[in-house]
Amino acid sequence: MVDVRPFRALRYAGVPPERMGEVSSPPYDVFTPEMQRAFHARHPHNIVRLIQGEFLAGERDDGPRTQRAAAYLARWRKEGVLSPDPAPALYPYRQSFALPDGKRAERRGFFGKIRLARYEEGHIHPHEQTFPKPKGYLFELWGKCEAHLEPIFGFYDDASDSALSALSPSMAGAPLADFEDEGVRHTLWRCGDPAALQAAREALSARQVFIADGHHRYETSLNLSEAQRAKGAPPGGEADYTLMCLANAADPGMVILPTHRLLKKVGAGAAEALGRIREGYEVTEEPAPREGEGAQVARRLQALGTGGRTAFALYDGQGPVRYLLRKGGGAAGGSDLGELGRAVEEAVASLDVRRLHEEVIEGAFRASREEADLGFTPDPEAALASARRGECAAALLLNPTPIEAVCRIAQAGGKMPHKSTYFYPKLRSGLVVHPFAPPAGG
């Protein structure tokens, strides 16, 4: 069963709700060097100093900056910048935002601590692959700080919406945070009512949780739990839990955006690639999109992809925009896999993002597979503009991966290609922190 519990969050003390944007930030893995500098300058206590500290002159590895993060955390605890809540709670969270097409949406969830479980136990499911380097950085950083500094984003499926219904009365009270940044309004509350907390726990106990964002953070939490146990931490202690924000898959604001690809290093030009593409795709051309028409191209692409058809848009910045509609259907299956293995393989092989990489990026453009040679953006306007400015050889737009496909593949034990999903908007880091050992836990 899924074990979600209230916890005593470590939070910024004395910061008014409307100013919480000054001390919080986006998650560590979306920072550009420019963003990193900007958030360092935003406030001397901004969470960026803990999650993504700057390298100083002469530093070549993460050791010094993770040590500084631990020192910052200890000092901020001592000075009262960060303070633990007096009693355990769950923290309802609402994000109000605009989609790339201008429509407004709202996503509700809540922060809590969730008992760690290995994937094979069947309670918590990943859907993407992870890589050693980010997990090594997080293990060193969180291990030194002895705290889960950022949340994992998970979702569950509950048509009755029982958990959030139990917590919703607390959302009528005064918020702990209420601010807007980069077009997203973040509002956080605290729910300490025992009856509501118990109802939310019971509502989720029979559910399965799917990791939407933060696979590296979850697997690092598992590794840290083992490390703490080796140090003598008792079973069932804080190290056996991690920080997660949970949302209902049925929430109207549960949005997955596509991650469009920008080809920077190709082995074939657009004309040569189109020659290969025509073997498996119907190609139609329309006038080059003007500035500001990115949403229009995305809507056209969405219409072409109705009924589960695979469709892409190709723009090299010089000619027309080409819409690629895949001929036929079906996906190749493995020859020596079991029935479940074949089903997983076929489900992954039928994903638009998998077909884009195999048939268009690698097959037609002979493009580099290295992630450093690809750009990624969920914004269709930004993708087209990049091609228009000559910053990439071609922009390839695709439709979002349906959340049903994410669940189906994850439940079957499959892994989707990296950057298959972009759950929007990103959670805000710094609203709550989960200490799992002293001194962070006090």
pLDDT tens column, 260-273: 999 999 999 999 99
Question: Which range marks the domain in which residue 89 is found?
Answer: 4-255+425-435
The pLDDT of residue 442: 64
Same domain, 175 and 308: no
Same domain, 263 and 250: no
Same domain, 291 and 196: no
Q: Is 229 exposed, middle or buried (0-12, 13-18, 19+ CB in 10 A)?
A: middle
Same domain, 251 and 277: no
Same domain, 394 and 349: yes
* Within-domain flag for 408: no
* Within-domain flag for 109: yes
Same domain, 111 and 187: yes
* Within-domain flag for 412: no
Same domain, 217 and 345: no
Between 416 and 388, name the one with better pLDDT: 388
Give residue 359's Cα distance to chain centre. 26
* Within-domain flag for 95: yes
Reported pTM: 0.89
* Within-domain flag for 311: yes
Domains of the chain: total: 2
335: pLDDT strictly greater than 60: no
The pLDDT of residue 101: 76
The pLDDT of residue 1: 82
* Within-domain flag for 416: no
336: pLDDT strictly greater than 50: no
Same domain, 39 and 73: yes
Same domain, 119 and 139: yes
Same domain, 329 and 240: no
Contacts of 307 (CB under 8 A, 6+ apart): none
The pLDDT of residue 244: 98
* Within-domain flag for 417: no
Q: What is the pLDDT of residues 181-227, one digit of tens each?
A: 999 999 999 999 999 999 999 999 999 999 999 999 999 999 999 99
The mean pLDDT of 279-302, rounded to a whole number, is 95
Give residue 118's Cα distance to chain centre. 20
CA distance 390 to 251: 39
The mean pLDDT of 419-424, rounded to a whole number, is 90
pLDDT grade, residue 339 (50/70/90)? Answer: low
Same domain, 207 and 306: no
The pLDDT of residue 337: 34
The pLDDT of residue 370: 78
Same domain, 214 and 285: no
Q: What percent of the chain has pLDDT over 70?
A: 96
Token pair for 379: 């914004």
The mean pLDDT of 97-118, rounded to a whole number, is 93
